[in-house]
Structure 1
């Protein structure tokens, strides 16, 4: 039981850290768009380095599994920044447990 609680807590922390990182990225972009003089002529980039997956077989079921795995490791970070939302596979799988982005957070 303690192990299950710990795993849930670690998962929660990962999600909160990722969400906070996304919000800070958005804040930096807004500051630069407002003409922050300290970063004059600066560039903004984002780096993500997830685990990578390849299908073990050339079957559509294997390819779907790989897409889902990539959405849960890369997509939930990258699409939230570039699209302002989570990948559809995540929303379908997690449902109401996945927090929605408010308009101000997109």
Structure 2
């Protein structure tokens, strides 16, 4: 998923973050563990860019007063999901490597 680092409005930028978050949740429902890791990296970059472009302050207080509390409340759940996805991706990678070793041992 490609995001625009220079979104025109705070609302557009925030909507892109929410879209990535929903993609992470959808990937988790599909057990697409490897996708979650790359989406999490993209989301982190988008959040960093968002707050650089739209810092919390008097000019943005109206927006963050409405959106930031819910965002922060969901962060720990999302962080735990990403950690679990990375563990699952590693497990799957190890299983594949072990199967390859077993198969190559029989072929010798």
Q: Which has the larger radius of gyration?
A: 2
TM-score by length of 1: 0.30
Higher helix proportion (structure 1 or 2): 2
Q: Which has the higher contact order (CA 8 A, sep 6+)?
A: 2
TM-score by length of 2: 0.30
